[in-house]
Structure formats: structure tokens, C-alpha cells
Amino acid sequence: MYQFYTLSNGLRIGAEVMPQVKSVTAGFFIRAGGMTETAEQNGISHFVEHMLFKGTERRSACQLVQAIDRTGGTLNAFTSDEYTCVYVKTLDRQIETAVDVLCDMLFHSRLAAEDIALEKKVIGEEISLYEDSPEELVGDLLSSRTWGDCPAGRPILGTLESVNRLNREELAGYLERFYHPENMVFAIAGSFTLSHVISLLEKRMKEKFPPWLPSFPPCPMVFHSGISYQEKEAEQTQLALGLEGVSRMDPELYPLLAVNTVFGGSMSSRLFQKIREEKGLAYSIGSYPICHEASGLLVISAGVSPENTRQTVELMLQEIELLRQEGLSREEIESSKEQLAGGYLLGLESTSSRMSHLGKGMLLEGGVKTQEEILSLIDGITPEAAERVIQRVFTPDAFSLAVAGAVDEWIKAQGESWSE
């Protein structure tokens, strides 16, 4: 059962007690990510996330991680398009240390000039490593091709130029603007008592915060078709084909999840069976939805030899058209619903997944769906709903395509080079 509480400073707390475990996962979810950045500050959310680990008024960078390492736990963070998460997983008896370290990082970061200069080098290496990996690069290519110059089309890491332009004043201003209790959620799952967690947070967050006024840059998401490619020295070609999907609040989200399960979401899917098992064109092939607040994307990805590029893309489009013409059988829909429910229930065994479900639901969706509500949404998927989402999303005449690695001449003949 979920429990909720709001501190006097506006911090929302979401909790789920799991008495059968001896661990706890706790984290702060902050509404700060790629979509809250201006073009000039591209990469600042990710940079701030890094700086949280560089030391506070009480602890050095090494002491921060040592405090959690000594408990046998893990301290980590990540940045996405729409939010940043900083979290700890540890034994339940170490909850005080977990809360203390998290609050220290988020609200007392030093942002020392020497650390900022050093971290620019570290993130520069991360960007270079990312750009050298066609598997990673193709995702950014697809986002840029699909969403253009809106924040969703920019890389989370930023560019070397945008990162190197950042200074301490900008980082401090970004922290003050977005790392405010009213713009974040504290989610926790595992073995604990909520009253104890509330007491710990009130003790660690005594400082006064200025009034917070929501101020997010506009992010119009307009789908753009077309092909972009970037050549990299590699043996394989990485493909990512995008179809305009649905937002995370769209009533057709769950029907899309069911359709995707049959289409490309598993090893038994149509794409996997046709392109890998029957044709032998790819080792990895599949599809998955990406859902934002305003829109979404259905991505079909594959890794192939350059000479198999054209045939693979054509087969992808053929499978899209076949799905559009024939739809799904009742047996396929029922099987996909069972697969969705099973995957969801298996994920509930992890304190980390439950913590993440709580945090994202509260921060991005205005509420958290219960287990019963989610299973009901899955069970309620009808053949009619599946057909509607097929006709809406699976449109072979309107798609974006990104290609990275070894690029076939066929792609070059009709695509747009990323370097242009």
C-alpha cells in the first residue's frame, strides 16, 4: 500500500513498505532534465548531476561514496529528458546514512571551481566515448531527426561546446531554480517506517528555501520525417526507425504496449522472428515506445551488416504495413496482455523498480497507479483499442530513420549527413 506525505517546505514523499525484505531503495526525483534546458545550456542537467558527487560542505567526493560503500549499498544517479534521479540502495538499518548522504549532496554541493574544470574534462571524455559508439549515437541521431531543435531533439550530455561554456554561476543558478523541494519528489520502497523517514528528512532539510515559481522553457514536439546518418569506423550498421507514438498520459498507451509486444517487444515478436530467425539479417532487432508528456516515439532498432541495410529497412516497413492491413488476432492480444502483466508483476519484486514507479508517477503523472489499476488497464485492452492504435501509429509512409556506423550507399543516396 502506498503512503504519501508532504513536508512543510513542499517536498512530496511517496513510500511503499515491503516488510518481507531487508533492504531499502530511496531517491530524489527532480523535474530537471534535457527538456528544462535552453539551447545555450544544453547538457547542464547532466553536468549538475555529476557535480552532486564532487563534494559538499561536510564531505569530500570520496567520503560521499565511502559513506554508502561501507554499508554494502550503492549510490547512483541518472539524467533523462524530463527528470534527474539520485538514489541509494542499502540495508534497511542504514536508512539514516542514506537520507543524510542524499540530502547533503542535493542541498550542500560545493560547486568548487577546480571540480567544475575537472568535470568538464570527464564529461568531454564521456561525450567522445558516446559518439564513438554507434549503438549509443544512433539514439541521438533519431531524436534530432524526429524532434528537430526542440529540447527533446538535443543530446542529454550536451555537446563539447555547450558543456565547456558552463560556469559556476550558471550551475548554481540552475540548482537554485530546479533543486527546490516543490520541484522534486522523495520516493522510498523497502523495509522502513514512514514516520522515521519523515523525521530524518525534516532534520536534514532545515534550511529555508526561497519561494519557488514554476518556469520551464517551451518544448513543442512536432514529428519530422526523414533520414539522417553519421559514418563511424565500424563493422556494423546501427539502425533506428521512428514512428510517432503516444504520450505517457494517452488512453491508448496500454493498447500500444500490447501491440508492440507482438510487433517487436520480445524474442517471439514478428520483427525478431522475421528479420533474425527467418532471414538471418540481424543479431539484435526489436521495438520499444518512448513516452513524453506531450508526445512519444515508437522506435524500431537493429544492428546489421552494411550490405543488409536496405533489405532490413524494407522488411521493417513491410511488417508495419502488414500489421496495418491484418491487425492482431484475438489470441495474439490475449497473449500480449498476459506477457505485459507477467513482466509488470515480476518487476514488483525489486525495491528499486517500486521506488522508481513511485517517483516517476508522482513527479510526472500527478499520481501513482496501484498494482490493481495497472493490471486492470492491461486486462481492459480490447481488439478495437489495439486496431485504433495500429492505424494511428503504424504508418509506413511517415517515419524518421537514423543510421550510424558503417553506412551503406543506399542510405547515403537518400539521407542527410549528420555532419552537414
pLDDT in tens, 335-382: 999 999 999 999 888 999 999 999 999 999 989 999 999 999 999 999
Contacts of 281 (CB under 8 A, 6+ apart): 275, 302, 304, 305, 308, 311, 312, 315
Q: Can you name the residues that pair with 23 across neighbouring β-strands?
A: 91
Average pLDDT, whole number, for the chain?
94
Look up residue 391 and give its three cell numbers.
Answer: 492505424
Burial of residue 133 (number of CB atoms within 10 Å: 0-12, 13-18, 19+): middle
Cα–chain center distance at 137: 16
What mean pLDDT do residues 278-302 have? 95
Residue 418: what pLDDT?
54
Could you give the count of Cα atoms lying within 13 Å of 271 in the half-sphere of its Cβ? 28
Cell output for 380: 481492459
- State the pTM of this model: 0.94
pLDDT band at 409 (very low <50, low <70, confident <90, very high): very high
**Which position among 16, 37, 49, 131 bears the catalytic label?**
49
Q: Are 27 and 186 in contact (CB under 8 A)?
A: yes
In the residue annotation, 49 being an active-site residue is answered as yes
> 328 - beta bridge partners?
none
Summarize the confidence of residues 145-171 as an average pLDDT.
Answer: 95
Q: How far apart are CA 43 and CA 416, in angstroms?
A: 25
pLDDT of residue 417: 61
Residue 157's nearest CA partner among 78, 273, 257 is 78
Over the stretch 101-153, which tens digit does the pLDDT of each residue have?
A: 999 999 999 999 999 999 999 999 999 998 899 999 999 999 999 999 889 99
Say how far apart CA 314 and CA 305 lie, in whole Å.
Answer: 15
Q: Are 90 and 73 in contact (CB under 8 A)?
A: yes
Average of pLDDT values for 250-279? 97
Cβ neighbours of residue 242 under 8 Å, at least 6 residues apart? 142, 145, 146, 297, 298, 299, 300, 399, 400, 401, 402
pLDDT at residue 419 in the model: 45
